[in-house]
Amino acid sequence: MVNWKDATLVVEQYLGVAKVTHFCAGVFLWEFLSTVDYEFTDYSQKRPFRWTLIIYLLTRYATLGAMLCYMIGFNDRIVFDCKAWLEATYAFSYYSLSLASGLIAMRAVALWNFHGIVVSAVSITWLANVASMAYGIVQASIE
């Protein structure tokens, strides 16, 4: 049986999570920086504007905010407000996930030519997903 109250085990688990988080942040940062030229062509209006671009950019920046929160939390060696850090991390993470799933939902609706049943099913599923994420943020702020 694993003793989860053992200090050495807790430190090992923390270091493992920190390493995985650093790896994921590095992969995201590489992806973010390698597609800046695509983003620049949108800002410089070399491509026609599409309203889904706003959701796409918000998804990218929310994910960047989540990665920055993770890096600040795992690399900061001074005492800080863990509750505020946790709420900000959850908010950025859930916001980016809900926007990304919204983009996928819009793609599914467009593939089905805005069929009523598909629009209803996808909308209900997306709203349930967003509601569960909002519930997670509220639970994090309560605890």
pLDDT digits (tens, 9 = 90+) for 6-45: 889 888 998 999 999 999 999 999 999 999 898 888 888 8
Average pLDDT over residues 72-77: 85
The alpha carbon dihedral of 88, 73, 97, 30 has a sign of positive
Number of folded domains in the chain?
Answer: 1
Q: What H or E segment, with its residue span, contains residue 46?
A: none
Q: Does 143 score more than 70 pLDDT?
A: no
Report the pLDDT value the prediction gives residue 20, as an integer from 0 to 100: 94
SS3 143: coil
Question: Does 34 fall in a domain?
Answer: yes
Report the pLDDT value the prediction gives residue 58, as an integer from 0 to 100: 95
| Structural domain boundaries enclosing 123 | 7-142
Question: Does 117 fall in a domain?
Answer: yes
Question: Does 2 fall in a domain?
Answer: no
Q: What H or E segment, with its residue span, contains residue 35?
A: none
Q: Which of 71, 62, 112 is nearest to 91 (CA)?
A: 62
In whole angstroms, what is the distance from residue 33 CA to residue 22 CA? Answer: 16
